[in-house]
């Protein structure tokens, strides 16, 4: 086991320092060291997307990133999505559309969808499905998830137009 390393990052807007072993993944650091257990583990091989966080604006499987690689990066996790004023529109739409059953995939989908809407505020259904194809959901058949994201995008663009 090699020595722990100090890593300086910004997590959900807060400057955050943590200690981690070089072999620990960012997901493990978030969950086990920082107690941010909202990011989930489904595979550890980059195939399910349950661990998705946004690193410097890009949706990323945190299981494929080492904790030490977070040095100097800006990381957004599910814990930072809601504001004190209320839920993010994606979170609201997921609830209204019943876009979750067991909910284990939900944090990952929300982060992937947020990264999509940040970069493309009015995606087509095909673009949404493409952007979410790295996230597996075994419960819903995706139908309600896709509808929720479409509705969230419409709500956001409606708010911008107004």
CA distance 20 to 102: 31
Position among 47, 96, 118, 143 found at the interface with ligand FES (CB under 6 A) = 47
Q: Is 63 one of the binding residues for ligand FES (CB under 6 A)?
A: yes
CB of 126 to ligand FES, least distance (A): 21
Q: Is 19 one of the binding residues for other proteins (CB under 8 A)?
A: no
The binding track of 43-72 with respect to other proteins, each residue x by CB under 8 A or -, is xxx-xx-x----------------------
- What part of residues 1-30 is at the interface with ligand FES (CB under 6 A)? none
Position among 11, 70, 137, 153 found at the interface with other proteins (CB under 8 A) = 137
Q: Which residues bind ligand FES (CB under 6 A)?
A: 41-44, 46-51, 61, 63, 100-105, 137-140
């Amino acid at each position: 086991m090699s020595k722990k390393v100090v890593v300086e990052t910004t997590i959900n807007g807060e400057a955050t320092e943590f200690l981690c072993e070089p072999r620990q993944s960012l997901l493990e650091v978030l969950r086990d060291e920082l107690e941010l257990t909202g990011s989930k583990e489904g595979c550890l091989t980059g195939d399910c997307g349950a661990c998705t966080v946004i690193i410097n604006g890009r949706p990323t499987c945190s299981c494929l990133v080492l904790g030490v690689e977070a040095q100097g990066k800006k990381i957004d996790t599910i814990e930072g999505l809601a504001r004190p004023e209320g839920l993010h529109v994606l979170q609201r739409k997921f609830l209204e559309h019943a876009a979750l059953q067991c909910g284990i995939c939900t944090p990952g989908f929300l982060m992937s969808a947020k990264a999509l809407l940040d970069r493309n505020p009015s995606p087509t259904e095909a673009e949404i499905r493409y952007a979410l194809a790295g996230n597996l959901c075994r419960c819903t058949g995706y139908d309600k998830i896709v509808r929720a994201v479409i509705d969230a995008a419409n709500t956001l663009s409606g708010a911008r137009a107004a």
